[in-house]
Amino acid sequence: MFRDTVVVFRRYLRLSLRNPIWIFVGLVQPVVFLVFFGPLMTRTLESSGTAPAAAWQLFVPGILVQLSLFSGAFVGFAVIAEWRAGVIERLRVTPVSRLALLLGRVLRDVAVMVAQAVVLILTALPFGLRAPLGGVLISLGFVALLALSLTSLSYALALALRSEDTMAPALNISLVPLMLLSGVLLPMALAPKWLDTLSRIIPFRYVVDAMRAAFTGHPADVLPGAAVATVLCVLSVAVGIRTFTRQNR
């Protein structure tokens, strides 16, 4: 299975490298938020007493989670296209492990999203972002966990629905509330009490808080988010494996 996973990973990574424009397309929305909303949001944080450097340390981790949410959720459309073109059927008759067919894709997506996160962090440096190297590496680890979780769920949903017309509205309806309630743009501590309480049922909120703690140099506050991200990753990958193996029998 490990060998098959490496083979599938290399195949899909080569496909991505042959058409790298899509890697940069995935960066468009978070870069737009960084360039146009970043100064506005950081000025809002500064008006509440936050130092300018700390404002970017709070804003950039949220943009990294936004990148993971949207990039990870939409990868399933590629599986729908492959299923319609008959690629999935052709892969079924090969001796490649069914589990490797999923893991190879997911690992390719993880590699792409981590690379995108690095580019986004480097883009934020001229705007005033300052963060410890250890905190940045921890945040990249969170991006990898989120990528594993969201891409696995996206592939599972795509194979279950097999229709772009059904999948697109389902993602749009769910992603925007998840993004807002996670505190991606502003910390939920600034929200009214009822909204702050409601956001606590969203697992991504704890990931955002943990990444902000890593960027601000508070490693002890990273542990709750790390636990939530790990549990979410295990459950999501299990769902993806179960759906992918069942659909490919």
Q: How far apart are CA 97 and CA 102, in angstroms?
A: 9
Phi-psi region of 49 (alpha: psi -120 to 50; beta: other; left: phi over 0): left
The model's confidence at residue 83, banded by pLDDT at 50, 70 and 90, is confident
The pLDDT tens digits of the residues spanning 166-176 come to 888 888 888 88
Do 204 and 65 form a contact (C-beta atoms < 8 A)? Answer: yes
pLDDT for res 35: 82
The pLDDT tens digits of the residues spanning 91-110 come to 777 777 778 888 888 999 99
pLDDT over 90 (residue 31): no
The pLDDT tens digits of the residues spanning 33-79 come to 788 877 777 777 667 666 666 778 888 898 899 888 888 888 888 88
Rounded (5°) CA angle 249-147-161: 40
pLDDT over 60 (residue 6): yes
Report the Cα 107 to chain-centroid distance in Å. 13
In our burial notation (b when 16+ CB lie closer than 10 A, e otherwise), range 80-94 reads bebeeeeebeeeeee
Q: How many domains, the chain?
A: 1
pLDDT over 70 (residue 204): yes
* Containing structural domain, residue 53: 2-247
Top pLDDT among 97 and 145 is at 145
Q: Is 203 exposed, middle or buried (0-12, 13-18, 19+ CB in 10 A)?
A: middle
Rounded (5°) CA angle 81-13-111: 110
Average pLDDT, the chain: 84
Mean pLDDT of 12-27: 78
